[in-house]
Amino acid sequence: MSDLDGSVLTGSEAEPERKCVNCGTPNAASHKFCNECGQEICRKPGPLHIFVERDFAEGTLCRFDEAFPTELVDRLEPAEWSAVISEINKIFADAEQLSCNTYFESALAILTAHLSLLFYQPHYSKCMHKLAAYIGEENETLFHPNGIHLHGPFEHGLRVLEISDFDGAAGGEGGDAEGLGALDLGSA
Per-residue pLDDT of the chain (188 residues; tens, 9 = 90+): 444 444 444 544 555 666 665 566 776 666 667 667 766 665 555 678 899 999 898 888 899 999 999 889 888 999 999 999 999 999 999 999 999 999 999 999 999 999 999 999 999 999 999 999 999 999 999 999 999 999 999 999 999 999 998 876 444 444 444 445 444 444 43
Backbone angles phi, psi at 85, to 5 degrees: -65, -40
Q: Looking at residue 175, what is its pLDDT? A: 43
How far apart are alpha carbons 67 and 82 in whole angstroms?
Answer: 8
Backbone angles phi, psi at 89, to 5 degrees: -65, -35
User: Which pLDDT value is given to residue 32?
Assistant: 64
- pLDDT of 21 reads 57
How much is the pLDDT for 4? 46
From start to end of the chain, where are the E strands? 17-19, 26-28, 49-53, 148-151, 160-165
**C-alpha–C-alpha distance, residues 114 and 87, integer Å:** 31
Query: Cα separation of 1 and 158, whole Å?
Result: 55
CA–CA dist 73, 108 (Å, integer)? 48
CA neighbor of 150 nearest in space, from 139, 134, 160, 137:
139
37, 20 contact by CB (below 8 A): yes
Give the angle 171-174-179 at the CA atoms, nearest 5°. 160
How many angstroms separate the CA atoms of 71 and 166, rounded?
A: 15
**pTM more than 0.85:** no
Give the model's pLDDT for residue 26: 73
